[in-house]
């Protein structure tokens, strides 16, 4: 609803969104919406989870490509540029030796490429590379918490605290399986944003929720003291907890937010876990939606409360080859842009296999985010 050209909040609750083509937010979905599929001739097993900078067809577009590799997983990921297919980031250092994954792009003079660095023995953590032209790229190393599970329990307030309980449960599960206890606490789904006053904020996911962590320099993010202090403030810095049924297991950021008509709009994904009776099967559903951030603090002020993008059963999915009892149904929206005709184009990794493009009317999105029904205060936090 608009008055005098300004967006205002509506007291009218919107219609219940039970599908992607609801009256409030309409998504165009058809069989031609696959944007990019793996090129088997280039050895690609899958492509997914893109990053985008700009709103023109010739702007920067990166994506994750999975390829066969001689390790315990039988594969690793590299980061490529579209449409050339040129590899711009590949595993080089110990902290990322089993894969570089899920890039996000931001800019503050120099471009930041924030990505997930994976090492089977050390876990998944966030790393940073910087560049001026996407040709010469400088890897800056790990910028996430270099803290192990036992330490995380202590630093976050003990096993009875919100995050301490998550770390304690994970540690107990690892002990039961006699698996690697040297893993660092996983940190993923990250990007760096900047406020109008020049404040730097790392948006990321520790545990099952999204945090906005302010910092002064990249060097701060690479010190253990910074993260020891931060873990004592994780609940204070949390901007989104698991909530509605489709996001009851965990939530995460889905790409770098962008400025649309003076409003900071972003993507988030949620995970729903369903246990099937037969065969001890666990099925995960990854859904995505749109949020609005406060430009000064990057707290989430509103969220489309029903899944805007859901897994499409027509698209392929990859079963977890390490555990046949786990199946993932995925729509992981990680990039978007406003088209010249006023539509919003959203790119998602689907089924951990391909990249999908869908479009929707931008006005529907902005009006939906302005509705009181979708204020974050109405987000039903998971028990």
Q: Which of 241-255, 323-337, 351-365 has the lowest mean pLDDT?
A: 323-337
Flag whether 256 is in a domain: yes
Q: Report the distance separating Cα 108 and Cα 9, nearest Å.
A: 32
Flag whether 9 is in a domain: yes
Among residues 237, 120, 129, which one has the least CA distance to residue 186? 120
Q: What is the pLDDT of residues 222-264, one digit of tens each?
A: 999 999 999 999 999 999 999 999 999 999 999 999 999 999 9
Q: With beta carbons less than 8 A apart as the criterion, state whether 317 and 332 touch.
A: no
Q: Within 13 Å and on the Cβ side, how many CA atoms surround 351?
A: 18
Flag whether 343 is in a domain: yes
Among residues 249, 248, 247, 284, which one has the least CA distance to residue 269? 247
Among residues 247, 254, 287, 196, which one has the least CA distance to residue 376? 247
Range of the domain at 4: 1-30+241-383
In terms of pLDDT, which residue wins out, 212 or 179? 212
Structure-token pair, residue 152: 């995380």
Going by C-beta distance under 8 Å and a sequence separation of 6 or more, which residues neighbour residue 70?
none
* pTM (predicted TM-score): 0.90
- CB neighbour burial string for 50-87, b if at least 16 within 10 angstroms, e if fewer: bbbbeeeeeebbbbbbbbebeeebeebbbbbbbeeeee
Flag whether 69 is in a domain: no
Q: Which pLDDT band holds residue 319 (cuts at 50, 70, 90)?
A: low
Compute the C-alpha angle 252/257/262, nearest 5°.
140
Whether the predicted pLDDT of 38 surpasses 70? yes
Flag whether 148 is in a domain: no
Q: Report the distance separating Cα 298 and Cα 300, nearest Å.
A: 6
Q: Report the distance separating Cα 201 and Cα 222, nearest Å.
A: 14
Instruction: Please state whether beta strands 60-68 and 34-36 pair in parallel, antiparallel, or not at all (unpaired).
Output: unpaired
- Name the phi and psi angles at 307, rounded to 5: -65, 120
Flag whether 120 is in a domain: no
Flag whether 94 is in a domain: no
Using alpha carbons, list the distances in angstroms from residue 13 to 16, 17, 281, 333, 370.
9, 11, 37, 26, 11
Helix (H, G, I), strand (E, B) or coil at 172: helix
Q: 24-28, 102-106, 283-287, 373-377 — which one is most confidently predicted on average?
A: 102-106
Helix (H, G, I), strand (E, B) or coil at 342: coil
Going by C-beta distance under 8 Å and a sequence separation of 6 or more, which residues neighbour residue 267?
253, 254, 255, 288, 289, 290, 291, 333, 334, 335, 336, 346
Flag whether 227 is in a domain: no
Domain count, the chain: 1
């Amino acid at each position: 609803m608009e008055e005098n050209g300004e967006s205002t909040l509506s007291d009218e609750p919107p219609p219940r969104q039970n599908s992607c083509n609801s009256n409030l937010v309409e998504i165009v979905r058809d069989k031609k919406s696959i944007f990019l599929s793996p090129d088997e001739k280039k050895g690609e097993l899958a492509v997914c989870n893109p990053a985008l900078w700009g709103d023109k067809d010739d702007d920067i577009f990166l994506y994750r490509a999975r390829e066969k590799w001689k390790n315990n997983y039988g594969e690793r990921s590299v980061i490529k540029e579209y449409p050339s297919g040129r590899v711009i980031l590949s595993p080089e250092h110990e902290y990322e030796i089993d894969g570089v994954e899920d890039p996000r792009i931001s800019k503050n003079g120099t471009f930041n490429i924030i990505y997930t660095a994976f090492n089977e023995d050390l876990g998944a953590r966030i790393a940073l590379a910087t560049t001026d032209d996407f040709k010469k790229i400088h890897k800056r190393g790990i910028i996430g918490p270099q803290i192990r599970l036992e330490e995380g329990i202590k630093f976050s307030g003990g096993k009875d605290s919100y995050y301490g309980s998550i770390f304690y449960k994970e540690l107990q599960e690892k002990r039961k399986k006699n698996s690697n206890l040297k893993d660092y606490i996983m940190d993923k789904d990250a990007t760096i944003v900047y406020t109008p006053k020049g404040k730097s904020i790392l948006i990321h996911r520790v545990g099952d929720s999204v945090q906005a962590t302010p910092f002064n320099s990249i060097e701060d993010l690479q010190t253990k003291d910074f993260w020891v202090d931060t873990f004592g403030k994780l609940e204070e810095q949390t901007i989104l907890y698991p909530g509605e049924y489709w996001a009851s297991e965990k939530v995460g950021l889905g790409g770098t937010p962008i400025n649309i008509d003076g409003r900071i709009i972003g993507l988030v994904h949620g995970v729903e876990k369903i246990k099937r009776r037969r065969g001890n099967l666990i099925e995960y559903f990854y859904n995505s939606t749109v949020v609005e951030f406060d430009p000064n603090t990057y707290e989430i002020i509103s969220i489309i409360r029903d899944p805007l993008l859901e897994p499409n059963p027509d698209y392929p999915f990859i079963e977890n080859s390490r555990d046949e009892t786990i199946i993932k149904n995925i729509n992981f929206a990680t990039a978007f842009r406003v088209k010249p005709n006023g539509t919003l184009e959203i790119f998602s990794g689907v089924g951990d296999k391909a990249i999908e493009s869908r479009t929707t009317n931008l006005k529907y999105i902005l009006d939906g985010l302005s509705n009181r029904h979708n204020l974050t205060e109405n987000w039903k936090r998971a028990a």
